[in-house]
């Protein structure tokens, strides 16, 4: 799958995998970390940022499109400044 082929169904699957993982694992020590979820396999990678996770994947020769979340937050990244 390429990024251009990413669909709403991929996002929904990744969110489902993440919800199941988060419900069955204690993520207290990972609060604030980035998590990359593969919507095909359900595999999850953790790192300081999405870039960090991408470097981990590249080092192993794996490059797959991932859905990213920030552990303990409602979104990975919020755009905009303070008001």
Contact 40, 68 (CB under 8 A): no
* Mean pLDDT (the chain, rounded): 89
In this structure, what are the phi and psi dihedrals at residue 14, rounded to the nearest 5 degrees? -60, -45
* pTM confidence score: 0.83
Query: Given phi > 0 = left and psi -120 to 50 = alpha, else beta, which region is 73?
Result: beta
Q: What angle do CA 69, 30, 60 make, to 5 degrees?
A: 70
In this structure, what are the phi and psi dihedrals at residue 24, rounded to the nearest 5 degrees? -110, 5
Instruction: Give per-residue pLDDT as tens, 50-79.
Output: 999 999 999 999 888 999 999 998 767 655
Domain residue spans in the chain? 3-70
* pLDDT value for 76: 73
């Amino acid at each position: 799958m390429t990024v251009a082929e990413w669909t709403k169904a991929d996002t929904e699957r990744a969110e489902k995998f993440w919800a199941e993982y988060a419900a069955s694992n204690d993520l207290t020590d990972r609060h604030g970390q980035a998590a990359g979820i593969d919507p095909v396999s359900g595999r999850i990678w953790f790192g300081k940022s999405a870039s960090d996770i991408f470097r981990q994947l590249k080092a192993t020769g794996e490059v797959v499109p991932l859905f990213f979340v920030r552990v303990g937050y409602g979104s990975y990244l919020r755009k905009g400044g303070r008001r």
